[in-house]
Every structure is written in structure tokens, then in C-alpha cells.
């Protein structure tokens, strides 16, 4: 069975947290997929954004750890 993946926005909406807080919570978590943008070679002035895809199992692990911080 294929696991469901969430974007930062979808996860933030589910957890009722800000996009930035959600990104910080998952950015270094093992199992999170990071999709890096192609290099722009200076064509634009804005920094390309890294996309994250968070598997449901990782979300469950984060929530369990948050619910029981003494056990982490």
C-alpha cells in the first residue's frame, strides 16, 4: 500500500499551525522528502524554494513525540 504524503501547507492546515512553524518542525526529520529546485544560474533574484513531502508515518511519529516529550 502506498502511504499518503502531505505538503507543508496541507500539514499546517491539519495541525492548525503556521507554514513556517510546520516547515521548521519537519525540515530535518528523517523520512521527509526534500525536492530541491533546479539551479537558476542567477536568472532570477528570488531564491528557489525547496519543496517538502511528508509521509503519514513521519507525521504520526512527530505527533507521538510531541505528545510524550519526556520519552523522546
Tally the domains of the chain: 1
Residue 13 lies in a domain: yes
Among residues 72, 36, 67, 71, which one has the least CA distance to residue 53? 36
Residue 11 lies in a domain: yes
Containing structural domain, residue 5: 1-36+49-54
Instruction: Flag whether pLDDT at 70 surpasses 80.
Output: no
Tens-digit pLDDT profile for residues 6-16: 999 999 999 99
Residue 59 lies in a domain: no
pLDDT at 72: 54
Residue 70 lies in a domain: no
Structural contact between residues 13 and 33, judged by C-beta atoms closer than 8 angstroms: no
Residue 29 lies in a domain: yes
Tens-digit pLDDT profile for residues 8-47: 999 999 999 999 999 999 999 999 999 988 776 666 667 7
Nine-digit cell at 40?
Answer: 537558476
Amino acid at each position: 500500500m502506498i502511504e499518503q504524503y502531505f505538503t507543508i501547507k496541507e500539514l499546517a492546515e491539519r495541525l492548525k499551525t503556521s507554514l513556517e512553524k510546520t516547515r521548521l518542525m519537519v525540515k530535518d526529520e528523517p523520512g521527509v522528502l526534500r525536492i530541491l529546485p533546479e539551479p537558476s544560474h542567477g536568472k532570477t533574484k528570488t531564491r528557489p524554494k525547496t519543496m517538502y513531502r511528508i509521509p503519514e508515518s513521519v507525521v504520526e511519529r512527530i505527533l507521538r513525540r510531541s505528545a510524550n516529550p519526556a520519552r523522546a
